[in-house]
Every structure is written in C-alpha cells, then in structure tokens.
C-alpha cells in the first residue's frame, strides 16, 4: 500500500501506485495519478488532471498541476504530464495547459528543476534539462533536451530553446535560442557554443566541428537567416548532430537570439 502520512489529504479518486510515498500535510487531488517509486515530501499540493511517471521526487512546498496564471482560463479540464526520474526542489510550480493552446503541459524525463523554478501553462520541457533556482518559463515555451538555464533566467512566452543550449544566470531570453548556443545578458545575446557540455555528452570531434560550422553560418558569416537555414539543413543530411537544428528551425517563430 502507498505510504501516506496521517496528516496528508489524498482524494479517494486519486490513483497511487503501491510504493508511492506522501509526506506530512501534502494534498493530492482527485484527478491525479502517481506512478511507482514517486515520493511527495511535506506540504506539497498536486492537483488538476495530472499524470506523473515513475521515481519522481517532489521536495517540500511544490505546487504541481495548479491552474494557469492566465486570465482567460475558466476551469477547463486541461492537463499536465510528467515523465520519469525527475527531481523538483522546494517551491517549484508547474501549471496545467490552457484551451487556447494544446491544453497540455509536458515535462519529460531525468530533469533537475531547482528551487522556486516555474513552468507555466502549455510548456514542453524535454529530457535531462536543468532549471536552476528561480528560472522561469512563461506560457507556451518549448525547451529541448539537455538545456541548462541559470538561476533567475526568464524565458518569454512562445520562445523555443534548442537542445543542448545554455543561458547564463539572470538572462532574459525574448527570442528563440538555437541548439548548442550559450547566451547571457538582459536582453540575452549569443556568446559561443557549449563545447564542454558536448564533450561530456559524448559528441565526437567531427560532430563538434559540424556544430561549430553551423554556429559560424548563423552568427559570423553575415548572411540572411533564411539562407543560413538552407545551408545548415543541407549539412544536416551528412551529420546527425545537426538534426537538432532542423527540429529547431521547424519550431522557431520569434527570430533568434543574436
């Protein structure tokens, strides 16, 4: 049976795996599903139409599946889905979606979401993402795999952050950030490629060289963005590491961080 502290309030309609742990004073709503190995520490609230995968850890005072901070929201049964093996530190907030978009907020697997981070309605967060303390995603943001956002970083609504990108602490990101690119500042500007991160993740020298070349095409050769897209798409046919750029170009609509 789930291990539920006597002071916790768990709705009888909630679905809990047998080895779920619910800590003191936490509240679990009627439309919540918690899968095997998930631990909810003290004073958390998990509500809404929320499905949570296996082996997640919610530290104290998380608010998950909460209503969107959107004045147009009118109680629609929108959703939040969280994958497996994520860690959410103290006071993290994650909203369900809105009917004005897909109606669904999605968080993937193996993410590390630090204290006071906020994931707003209709966001998509990939896998192996790190959001440092107070990182904030506005609504409808898409975050690729292995992205790192430093503390106090804010991302404007509808922005796309490409896989393996990184934003330094305190960055204000108001446009789309291409894969592999490191940015910082208010407003954020591109600085370089996250080469050390690529080495740690096993990218071979040829792949890293291709990423460097793609960066130069985007930022150093002075050509139109539309022409850069054509060149990088062509390069990606022979270098799988550049598929991240192709995916990014298919999603990005706000112009790129310069």
d(CA 30, CA 12): 7
Instruction: Choose, from 108, 139, 144, 162, the residue flagged as catalytic.
Output: 139
CA dist list (Å): 199 to 46, 118, 210, 241, 243: 38, 29, 13, 13, 18
Active-site residue, 140 included: no
CA 182 vs. chain centroid, Å, equals: 17
Q: List the one residue out of 56, 141, 126, 55 whose CA is nearest residue 92.
A: 56
Active-site residue, 121 included: yes
d(CA 4, CA 23): 6
- Token digits of residue 41: 């520490």
Instruction: Choose, from 23, 49, 59, 122, the residue flagged as catalytic.
Output: 122
To the nearest 5 percent, what fractions of the chain are helix, strand and coil? Answer: 15, 30, 55
Q: List the one residue out of 181, 241, 175, 235 whose CA is nearest residue 205.
A: 241
State the DSSP H helix or E strand holding residue 244, giving kind and residue range, or none if neither.
helix 243-251
d(CA 230, CA 167): 26
Active-site residue, 122 included: yes
Instruction: Choose, from 43, 59, 121, 140, the residue flagged as catalytic.
Output: 121
Q: Which residues are catalytic?
A: 121-122, 139
């Amino acid at each position: 049976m789930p291990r539920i502290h006597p002071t916790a309030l768990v709705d009888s309609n909630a679905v809990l795996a047998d080895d779920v742990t619910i800590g003191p004073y936490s509240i679990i709503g009627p439309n919540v599903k918690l899968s095997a190995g998930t631990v909810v520490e003290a004073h958390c609230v998990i509500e809404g139409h929320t499905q949570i995968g296996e082996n997640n850890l919610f530290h104290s005072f998380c608010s998950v599946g909460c209503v969107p901070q959107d004045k147009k929201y009118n109680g629609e049964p929108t959703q939040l889905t969280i994958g497996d093996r994520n860690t959410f530190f103290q006071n993290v907030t994650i909203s369900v979606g809105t009917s004005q978009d897909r109606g669904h907020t999605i968080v993937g697997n193996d993410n590390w979401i630090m204290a006071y981070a906020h994931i707003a309605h209709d966001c998509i967060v990939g896998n192996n993402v790190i959001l440092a303390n107070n990182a904030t995603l506005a609504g409808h943001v898409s975050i690729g795999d292995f992205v790192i956002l430093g503390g106090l970083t804010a991302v404007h609504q509808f922005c796309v952050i490409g896989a393996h990108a990184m934003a330094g602490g305190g960055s204000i990101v108001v446009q789309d950030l291409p894969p592999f690119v490191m940015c910082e500042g208010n407003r954020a500007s591109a600085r370089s490629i996250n080469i050390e991160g690529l080495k740690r993740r096993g990218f071979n020298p040829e792949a890293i060289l291709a990423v460097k070349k793609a960066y130069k095409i985007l930022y150093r050769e002075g050509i139109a963005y539309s022409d850069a897209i054509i060149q990088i798409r062509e390069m990606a046919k022979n270098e799988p590491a550049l598929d991240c750029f192709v995916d990014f170009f298919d999603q990005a609509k706000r112009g790129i961080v310069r």
